Amino acid sequence: MNQTTNQSPGQTIQSKLPDVGTTIFTVMSKLAQDHGAINLSQGFPDFEPEEALLDRVSHYLKTGKNQYPPMIGVPELRQAISSKFTQTRGVDIDPDTEITITSGATEALFCAIHSVVQTDDEVIVFDPAYDSYEPAITLAGGKTIHLPLTLPDYQIDWDALGSAITDRTRLIIINTPHNPTGAILQERDLDRIAGLIENRNCYLLSDEVYEHIIFDDEIHASAVSHPVLRHKSFAVFSFGKTYHATGWKIGYCIAPPELTVEFRKIHQFNAFTTVTPMQWALADFINDHPQNYLELPAFYQHKRDLFRSLITRSRFKLLPSRGTYFQLADYSDISDLKDTDFANWMTIEKGVAVIPLSPFYQTAPDTRIIRFCFAKQDDTLAEAAKIICAV
């Protein structure tokens, strides 16, 4: 039943998202701010982008690049993305027909979902799932099918996936490296997905915003370079995650031409376009400083390893973190509180804000697991670790 909100006598608003509240990221960040806690909850760095990138933004702000860019994105940026994929993955992508710049990865996810999902279509997501997926599916008139990832490694249950796919399945959403768990998919996993959907009227949405934050010499498995999925996928990426600039809200989508046509129909009446000077600056930076994204895995592996070493003597049990800048931890030796209550307690009473896992599930398992973000300066991690080890 849809929730209604009284506005004035004789008027009501019927909510399209009656079960949706404020995201857990906003809730925990505000709680951290209100109580002066170290914010290891929401996934953003507490350090700035490279000075060379900021210099290019300043340059374009002052040289007339402040009006509307093309709806699909600045040509120079789309070409830089295309060249990057050719150089790093050996994949040729047409910058005019297959790449669209978006106002953040969340907008790209929304546009991709609305490009193919219609009333009563089914979309498969894997729990714990990033919380923007289901609202976009609901607004498109679709039905979200939740499949839990298998513990303790948060991998796909292939039998469950095979059973869940029907003639009404229009889209499968994957996220690798995975937020919130830090798990990754490998090439063999993409092969299995391809085998399940190759001959169906079903598409893949591959959320790859942490593509460069992957550890221990693992190779990121991308739908863009898969021989089958390349032609059936929307792949979504984030400059904010790669260049420590989450507040810029700039992402992009790579899809084959026929899917890109539909994607842009949604994009042009959603955000229409994306902030101009940052696009020009990113184009320069990608071309002139490829070492920045090439060195990113080592940069964040240092932070992961440092954080893990700093809290190794705590009572938290650390789960594997194979990618992203998140670390899961089991607190069952500390408390029997449910994770939302424990996260509030950690923030208010102990001064370190964390994210509970249950909001990412339709039906959460009976576990005691929270998420830390280690995309912070080393001093911040050390300060937080002292508190964590004393819990």
74 and 153, same domain (yes or no): yes
Residue 146 domain-assigned (yes or no): yes
- 254 three-state secondary structure: strand
Q: Which amino acid is residue 250, in one-letter code?
A: I
User: pLDDT-based confidence at 2, cuts 50/70/90?
Assistant: very low
Other beta carbons within 10 Å of 164: 16
Phi then psi for residue 296, to 5 deg, are -65, -40
233 and 322, same domain (yes or no): no
Residue 269 domain-assigned (yes or no): yes
Tell me which of 236, 265, 290 is where a domain ends. 290
What is the tens place of the pLDDT at every residue in 74-84? 999 999 999 99
User: pLDDT-based confidence at 21, cuts 50/70/90?
Assistant: confident
Cis peptide leading into residue 95 (ω within 30°): no
Residue 319 domain-assigned (yes or no): yes
Q: Which amino acid is residue 171, in one-letter code?
A: L
Residue 60 domain-assigned (yes or no): no
CB 252 within 8 A of CB 109: no
What is the tens place of the pLDDT at every residue in 277-293? 999 999 999 999 999 99
Per-residue confidence (pLDDT) for residue 7, from 0 to 100 = 58
Per-residue confidence (pLDDT) for residue 272, from 0 to 100 = 95
304 and 375, same domain (yes or no): yes
Per-residue confidence (pLDDT) for residue 11, from 0 to 100 = 79
Residues in contact with 31: Cβ distance below 8 Å, sequence separation at least 6, in sequence order: 37, 344, 347, 348, 353
Mean pLDDT of 120-136: 97
The percent of residues in the chain predicted with pLDDT above 90, rounded, is 95
Q: For residue 32, is pLDDT > 90?
A: yes
211 and 183, same domain (yes or no): yes
274 and 233, same domain (yes or no): yes
193 and 261, same domain (yes or no): yes
241 and 353, same domain (yes or no): no
Residue 64 domain-assigned (yes or no): no
Q: Structurally, how many domains does the chain consist of?
A: 2
Per-residue confidence (pLDDT) for residue 19, from 0 to 100 = 87
- Residues β-bridged to residue 4: 14
Per-residue confidence (pLDDT) for residue 36, from 0 to 100 = 96
Q: Is 381 exposed, middle or buried (0-12, 13-18, 19+ CB in 10 A)?
A: buried
Tell me how far apart the alpha carbons of residues 308 and 324 are, in angstroms, rounded to a whole number: 14
Q: Which amino acid is residue 110, in one-letter code?
A: F
Tell me which of 262, 290, 318 is where a domain ends. 290
What is the tens place of the pLDDT at every residue in 195-241? 999 999 999 999 999 999 999 999 999 999 999 999 999 999 999 99
Q: For residue 311, is pLDDT > 60?
A: yes
What is the tens place of the pLDDT at every residue in 64-75? 999 999 999 999
**Parent domain of 250:** 69-290
130 and 42, same domain (yes or no): no
**CATH classification at residue 138:** 3.40.640.10
274 and 298, same domain (yes or no): no
Least confident of 11-20, 95-104, 122-131, 165-174: 11-20
Residue 360 domain-assigned (yes or no): yes
- Residues β-bridged to residue 356: 370
DSSP 374: -
Q: For residue 319, is pLDDT > 60?
A: yes
348 and 363, same domain (yes or no): yes
Q: For residue 105, is pLDDT > 80?
A: yes
**CATH classification at residue 307:** 3.90.1150.10
Tell me which of 260, 290, 320 is where a domain ends. 290
Residue 179 domain-assigned (yes or no): yes
Per-residue confidence (pLDDT) for residue 155, from 0 to 100 = 97
Angle, to 10 degrees, between the axis of helix 257-268 and the axis of helix 105-116? Answer: 110
**Residue with the two structure tokens 């790209």:** 108
266 and 195, same domain (yes or no): yes
Return contacts of 375-378, CB within 8 angstroms, 24+ apart.
Answer: 375/43, 375/44, 375/45, 375/46, 375/244, 375/300, 375/303, 375/325, 376/40, 376/45, 376/46, 376/47, 376/303, 377/46, 377/47, 378/303, 378/306
The percent of residues in the chain predicted with pLDDT above 70, rounded, is 97
Q: For residue 3, is pLDDT > 70?
A: no
Residues in contact with 96: Cβ distance below 8 Å, sequence separation at least 6, in sequence order: 72, 75, 78
Per-residue confidence (pLDDT) for residue 8, from 0 to 100 = 63
Helix H segments across the chain? Answer: 24-35, 51-61, 75-89, 105-116, 133-139, 158-164, 187-197, 239-242, 257-268, 276-288, 290-294, 296-310, 339-345, 378-390
Residue 85 domain-assigned (yes or no): yes
Mean pLDDT of 164-174: 98
Cis peptide leading into residue 177 (ω within 30°): yes
94 and 207, same domain (yes or no): yes
Per-residue confidence (pLDDT) for residue 6, from 0 to 100 = 53
